[in-house]
């Protein structure tokens, strides 16, 4: 008897996205090694949970989910708080699940839907429709077919030769088509795709893909509908690979910005030690790229007027020849601005290394 093979037509767009994601993963891996990994991973996990639950209608914000994680009281519907607690527990157990084991899927569902449905941890006993508002957009297979369909799907996953990026998205689509549970199918499908990807590359364990799925929720459901109408999971695979690519690009950008902020803070601290004044350090950094007047410096410092301390530090920097006037022969000119001297530029360059 031949194994079930989900219908998909691999096209150039899918192949290009796989290559693009592979390249982005290399860049992301290098940045994550230099990042504050534990803090970033926790933040990304919270964003993942927020995105996945928000798609299903949960109204808790990122701050509220963080409060639940920290054991703080949250004013919200009890069911939604329970959904968050369950999701946190499920993602904490992420590392023990094996994506090719059907028993692990059932165990994860039991944890994810604990106290939310009478059928947590087991396949549905009745029919289920996928709704968009009041419209039925998909009628799932009969309940008595679910065990066989899920067995076939896991058997395919264990033997498929598709690239994990493609296989994970195919599994996600097939899972949503079968809709094996009475409730929690969306969050379980997204969780299991992340698990398949994390087994291939551990970076995916903490990549907040669900945040972008939530931001493109209508496109997510449309991709499912398109794949069903075409009997071809390619539209959904394209959508999910596009989301993964976008997520990686955003994470790389965020970490580059955070790294730039860290570098700036370290430079400011070193300048403060050297100049024995935080205000003087800020002045040097403000005029690093352009000449500024005292009024402009005061505004950047958040001051309403030129303070005596600002006058004092500008004078000290002039005396130490770290800065110079742009109009030196007219010290009191209204057009007077201040810029770095060659010595000032050299100082910043030395401390930046």
Average pLDDT over residues 60-68: 90
Q: Are 333 and 189 in a shared domain? A: no
Residues of the chain with pLDDT > 90, as a percent, come to: 55
Q: Are 197 and 343 in a shared domain? A: no
Q: Are 16 and 155 in a shared domain? A: yes
Q: Are 28 and 175 in a shared domain? A: yes
Residue 285 to residue 282: CA distance in whole angstroms: 5
Name the residue among 107, 88, 41 with its Cα closest to residue 251. 41
Taking the whole predicted model, whether its pTM rises above 0.75 is answered as: no
Q: Which of 224, 257, 290 lies at the terminal end of a domain, its last residue?
A: 257
Q: Are 285 and 246 in a shared domain? A: no
Domain assignment present for 224: yes
pLDDT top residue among 261 and 308: 308
Q: Are 28 and 158 in a shared domain? A: yes
CB atoms within 10 A of CB 128: 19
Could you tell me how many helices (H) and strands (E) the chain has, helices first? 15, 4
Domain assignment present for 267: no
Rg (CA), the chain: 28
Residue 100 has pLDDT above 80, yes or no: yes
Domain assignment present for 305: yes
Q: Are 188 and 58 in a shared domain? A: yes
Residue 137 to residue 225: CA distance in whole angstroms: 7
Q: Are 200 and 339 in a shared domain? A: no
Residue 34 has pLDDT above 60, yes or no: no
Residue matched to tokens 């088509």: 177
Where residue 112 falls among pLDDT bands split at 50, 70, 90? very high
Task: Check residue 173 and report its DSSP letter.
Answer: H
pLDDT of residue 171: 97
Residue 289 to residue 339: CA distance in whole angstroms: 9
Domain assignment present for 228: yes
CB atoms within 10 A of CB 286: 16
Helix (H) or strand (E) holding 177: helix 164-178
> 331 near 338, Cβ under 8 Å?
no
The CATH number assigned to the domain holding 152 equals 1.10.3290.10
Residue 80 has pLDDT above 80, yes or no: yes
Domain assignment present for 270: no
Sign of the dihedral defined by the CA atoms of residues 118, 58, 240, 89, in that order: negative
The CATH number assigned to the domain holding 305 equals 1.10.10.10
pLDDT of residue 38: 56
> 271 near 284, Cβ under 8 Å?
yes
Q: Are 31 and 146 in a shared domain? A: yes
Q: Are 66 and 158 in a shared domain? A: yes
Residues of the chain with pLDDT > 70, as a percent, come to: 92
Question: Any idea of the CA torsion for 33, 49, 107, 225, to the nearest 10 degrees?
Answer: -110
Domain assignment present for 186: yes
Domain count for the chain, please give it: 2
Residue 36 has pLDDT above 80, yes or no: no
> What are the C-alpha distances in Å from 282 to residues 267, 339, 353?
10, 13, 18
Q: Are 299 and 333 in a shared domain? A: yes
Domain assignment present for 95: yes
Domain assignment present for 170: yes
- Segments forming the whole domain that contains residue 307: 276-352
Task: Find all residues with CB under 8 Å of 330, minimum gap 6, and list them.
Answer: 336
Q: To the nearest whole number, what is the mean pLDDT of the chain?
A: 88
Residue 256 to residue 250: CA distance in whole angstroms: 10
Give the SS3 label for residue 212.
Answer: helix
Q: Which of 230, 257, 284 lies at the terminal end of a domain, its last residue?
A: 257
Q: Are 39 and 170 in a shared domain? A: yes
């Amino acid at each position: 008897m031949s194994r079930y093979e989900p219908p998909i037509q691999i096209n150039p767009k899918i192949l290009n996205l796989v290559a693009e994601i592979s390249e982005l993963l290399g860049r992301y891996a290098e940045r994550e090694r230099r990042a504050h990994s534990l803090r970033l991973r926790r933040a990304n996990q919270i964003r993942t949970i927020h995105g996945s639950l928000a798609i299903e209608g949960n109204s808790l914000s990122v701050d509220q989910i963080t409060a639940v994680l920290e054991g703080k009281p949250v004013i919200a519907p009890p069911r939604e708080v329970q959904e968050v607690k369950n999701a946190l527990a499920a993602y904490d157990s992420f590392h023990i699940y094996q994506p090719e084991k059907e028993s692990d899927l059932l165990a994860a569902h039991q944890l994810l839907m604990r106290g939310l449905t009478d059928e947590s941890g087991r396949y549905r006993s009745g029919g289920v429709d996928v709704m968009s508002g009041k419209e039925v957009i998909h009628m799932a297979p009969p309940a008595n077919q679910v065990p066989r369909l899920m067995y076939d799907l896991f058997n395919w996953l264990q033997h498929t030769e598709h690239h994990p990026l493609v296989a994970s998205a195919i599994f996600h689509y097939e899972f949503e088509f079968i809709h094996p549970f009475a409730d929690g199918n969306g969050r379980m499908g997204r969780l299991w795709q992340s698990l398949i990807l994390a087994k291939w590359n551990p970076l995916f364990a903490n990549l907040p893909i669900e945040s972008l799925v939530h931001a493109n929720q209508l496109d997510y459901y449309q991709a499912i509908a398109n794949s069903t109408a075409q009997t071809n999971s390619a539209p959904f695979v394209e959508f999910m690979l596009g989301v993964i690519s976008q997520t990686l690009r955003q994470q790389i950008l965020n970490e580059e910005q955070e790294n730039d902020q860290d570098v700036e803070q370290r430079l400011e601290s070193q300048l403060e030690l050297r100049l024995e004044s935080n205000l003087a350090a800020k002045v040097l950094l403000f005029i690093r790229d352009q000449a500024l007047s005292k009024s402009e410096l005061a505004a950047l410092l958040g001051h309403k007027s030129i303070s005596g301390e600002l006058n004092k530090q500008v004078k000290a920097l002039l005396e130490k020849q770290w800065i110079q006037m742009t109009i030196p022969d007219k010290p009191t000119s209204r057009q007077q601005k201040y810029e770095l001297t060659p010595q000032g530029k050299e100082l910043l360059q030395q401390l930046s290394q």
